[in-house]
Structure 1
Amino acid sequence: MNGDFIYHITTQEKWDLALKQGFYEADTLVKEGFMHCSTADQVDGVLERYYQGVTGLVKLTIQKDKVERPLVFELAGNINEVFPHIHGTLNLDAVVAVTPI
């Protein structure tokens, strides 16, 4: 079951904006050309590396087969681990849960 889902960390504020505009777009999409996501096993490490002390976070649970943009598993060379990346905006119907962190 876990293999059917990927996860993305964002703020409640950015998620609220996504609900208003009808799609979700992470800041990295403009900067890097994709949105960073994680597998279930990678979420804790991502939180530890990038979000220590950040409040107002939510975890988006994304059903992989509903993502309309290219979803590519790519190597993050700095930690030598393969992560899922969404190359485009995220359609909201792919998000099956929003969990406060």
Structure 2
Amino acid sequence: MMHETGIVRNLVAHIVRAAQDNGANRVGAVHIWIGALTPFSPEHFREHFEEEARGTAVEGATLHIEPSSDVHHAQAQDVILQQLDLEVPASEGDTT
């Protein structure tokens, strides 16, 4: 359980840093790939993710999870962040 929490905590921290580095005030969506040999089902991952995201720019983001069933995949033990949809406020004077 502690290992699983650590994986998700590190992932959320990485997403928060990416949002900050890009001037985003909120993360709209997160796309994750979960290897077949990780300790997570999609539901289990979602529970951990929502808990760790609470109180951060990631809270409330739509979570898209692509689980793999390929135990022979080179990254079967990994959780991979595939894409982030960041909400960056328009700069003043920006008319687009």
Taking structure 1 as the reference length, the TM-score comes to 0.27
Bigger Cα Rg: 2
- Give the alignment's TM-score, normalised by structure 2: 0.28
| Greater length-normalized contact order (CA 8 Å, ≥ 6 residues apart) | 2
Say which structure is richer in strand: 1
